[in-house]
Amino acid sequence: MEVPEIGWTTEVQLPASRTAVLVVDMQNDFVHERGALRVPTAAGTVGPIARLLSRARGAGVPVVYTQDWHSADDPEFRIWPPHCVAGTWGAEVVDALAPRPEETRIRKTTYDPFFGTDLGPALEHLGVEKLVIVGTVANICVLHAAASAALRGIRPVVPRDGVSALTEFDLHLAFHQVTFLYRGVPLAAGDGARFVPRARA
């Protein structure tokens, strides 16, 4: 079987006034060493994500967070062990990437952060045309975010060093789908995201 190549992009120009960054599920249960459903490589993405957020905020680019937010008897727990139960430590974003008070948090009960939430209207209100997506898990919630964004006319940009997966296969699969199925931008590293300020009149 031939494994498709990923056409990595090293730099992408992003208009600051029409771009947002979406941080997907960087929560204690997925990232912290004591997390209930820890993704082993997630901790390694914290530094690259933090650097990306610093540059995005400096350019006036809005940052939006998603959080898995489950009830204690959520049907998803028939698929996965209990995790990110509403109001618990495990459901909170890791301290190193904590949202600022003014930043939007989207609490979701499914893989898709657009389903049954205000994410779509929030991005529409901001005039977002390009969405830089980081977080975990690459082939699950990150991929669903990229898919739903693309199907709403928002182009996903996904940095390789800003997402994690349970296996290398899953990571490669996610980037293949982002590229092939959703015409997103597979970015080799978050440092290649160039936020371009609005031109002065």
Q: What is the pLDDT of residue 98?
A: 97
4 SS3 class: coil
Question: Are the CB atoms for 49 and 193 separated by under 8 Å?
Answer: no
Q: How far apart are CA 140 and CA 111, in angstroms?
A: 6
Check residue 126 and give its pLDDT: 95
Contact in structure between 155 and 14 (CB atoms under 8 Å): no
Q: What is the pLDDT of residue 3?
A: 83
Whole-number pLDDT of residue 97: 98
**97 within 8 A of 42, measured Cβ to Cβ:** no
pLDDT at 201: 43
Q: In angstroms, rounded to a whole number, what is the distance separating the alpha carbons of residues 46 and 96?
A: 7
* Domains of the chain from N-terminus onward: 12-196 (3.40.50.850)
Q: For the chain (length 201 residues), average pLDDT per consecutive 10?
A: 90 97 98 98 98 97 98 96 98 98 97 98 97 98 98 98 97 97 97 84 43
- What b/e sequence results for 90-124 when a residue is b if at least 16 CB atoms lie within 10 Å of its CB, and e otherwise? bbebbeebebeeeebebbbbbbbbbeebebbeebe
Would you state the pLDDT for residue 199? 56
